[in-house]
């Protein structure tokens, strides 16, 4: 079955020849591409407009960056994919000179496999269940008194260094959360009020941004971070690409609330779109405000925690 747009035409399919490329380039350079359906005719090509458009956008456009993806680009893809999912065109907007097709291919052929090999689910960016169980076993060896998954962050190789490099930012850590055990991406100082920690005290969330290997596997928010605690001194420490930033829980809550309000107001933004399309995860967060949605929390705050020196991260699909 051919394209609907050209079902009546005699069209050529398959790989483009250099001659066809030349014709298309010459035509678009001279006349632009106001209407793709007319481009094929006017350029003397026996291709449908859709095919011409694809060839131009994905291959012939002069501003395309050729060659393999850099480590930074790869990280950007992972970071943005974590927030937006398989929205390749949105992701590609954060990578100048790259196309959605290119990003998608790179994801499917490389990144996906890499994440799986790291024990991460490429769709959710959370630990795969098999790895989670394995990690829990390790933790119980390190911390016989707790079955918390908090020590997942001990997997982060350079976080200790980073903490030492910016000690002024670390106000306090409880013994149980010392960086010796917890070179953590997020530390809440109100948790040391809990002498014994249960799994249910914490919610696992996957990492957001892991430039410099700082936050390679996880970020964990204590339940209190979402309004269950009245502790005024509670702080959340978040690592992001080599620096640690602190926010009060109250500030964080306010930010989330504000973001949620704005999100609900903005009929066109991506989060709202997802909710409208029936994404159950998103709907849950809109419909049941009493049950705070951690996924949304992270999504909304991701840009806050993201590396601020990455210019490519400046414009997410939603901005607060």
Partner DNA sequence: AATCAGGACAACCGCATTTTC
Partner DNA sequence: AGAAAATGCGGTTGTCCTGAT
Min dist. Cβ of residue 219 to DNA (A) = 25
Enter the tokens of residue 79.
């970071």
* Range in contact with DNA (rule: CB under 7 A) among 31-39, 72-80, 166-174, 287-295: 31-39
The neighbouring-strand residues paired with 248 are 235
Cβ distance to DNA smaller for residue 99 or 210: 99
Contact range with DNA by CB under 7 A, out of 34-42, 156-164, 244-252, 290-298: 34-42
Dihedral sign for Cα 259, 264, 267, 273, please: positive
Which of 24, 27, 28, 36 binds DNA (CB under 7 A)? It is: 36
CB 231 within 8 A of CB 45: no
7 lines the binding site for DNA (CB under 7 A): no
Q: How far is the CB of 110 from DNA (least distance, A)?
A: 5
User: Is residue 71 a contact residue for DNA (CB under 7 A)?
Assistant: no
Between 114 and 288, name the residue whose CB sits nearer to DNA.
Answer: 114
Q: Is 100 in the site for DNA (CB under 7 A)?
A: yes
- Asked whether position 13 contacts DNA by CB under 7 A, the answer is yes
Query: Of 39 and 219, which CB lies nearer to DNA in the complex structure?
Result: 39
Per CB under 7 A, which of residues 108..167 are in contact with DNA?
A: 108-110, 113
| Residue selected from 46, 101, 229, 253 as contacting DNA according to rule CB under 7 A | 101
Which of these ranges, 32-40, 160-168, 193-201, 292-300, lies near DNA under the rule CB under 7 A?
32-40
Binding status of residue 245 toward DNA by CB under 7 A: no
Q: Which residues bind DNA (CB under 7 A)?
A: 1-5, 13-16, 34-37, 49-51, 53-55, 58-59, 68, 86-90, 100-102, 104-106, 108-110, 113, 277
């Amino acid at each position: 079955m051919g394209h609907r747009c050209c079902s009546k035409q005699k069209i050529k399919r398959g790989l483009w020849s250099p001659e066809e490329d030349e014709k298309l380039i010459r035509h678009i350079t001279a006349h632009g591409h106001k209407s793709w359906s007319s481009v094929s005719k006017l350029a003397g090509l026996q291709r449908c407009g859709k095919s011409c458009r694809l060839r131009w956008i994905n291959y012939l456009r002069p501003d395309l960056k050729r060659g393999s993806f850099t480590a930074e680009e790869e990280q950007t893809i992972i970071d943005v994919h974590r927030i937006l999912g398989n929205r390749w065109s949105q992701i590609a907007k954060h990578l100048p000179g790259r196309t959605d097709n290119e990003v998608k291919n790179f994801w499917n052929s490389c990144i996906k496999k890499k994440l799986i090999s790291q024990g991460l689910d490429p769709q959710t960016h959370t630990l795969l269940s098999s790895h989670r169980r394995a990690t829990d076993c390790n933790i119980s060896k390190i911390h016989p008194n707790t079955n918390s998954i908090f020590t997942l962050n001990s997997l982060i190789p350079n976080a200790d260094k980073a903490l030492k490099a910016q000690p002024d930012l670390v106000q306090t850590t409880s013994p149980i959360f010392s960086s010796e055990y917890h070179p953590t991406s997020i530390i809440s100082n109100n948790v040391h009020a809990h002498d014994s920690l249960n799994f249910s005290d914490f919610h696992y969330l996957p990492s957001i941004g892991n430039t410099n290997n700082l936050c390679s596997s996880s970020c964990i928010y204590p339940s209190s971070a979402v309004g269950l605690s009245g502790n005024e001194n509670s702080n959340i420490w978040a690592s992001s690409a080599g620096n640690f930033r602190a926010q009060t829980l109250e500030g964080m809550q306010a930010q989330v609330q504000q973001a949620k309000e704005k999100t609900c107001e903005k009929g066109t933004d991506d989060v709202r779109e997802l909710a409208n399309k029936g994404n159950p995860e998103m709907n849950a967060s809109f419909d049941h405000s009493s049950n705070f949605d951690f996924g949304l929390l992270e999504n909304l705050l991701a840009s806050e925690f993201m590396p601020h020196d990455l210019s490519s991260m400046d414009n997410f699909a939603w901005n607060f």
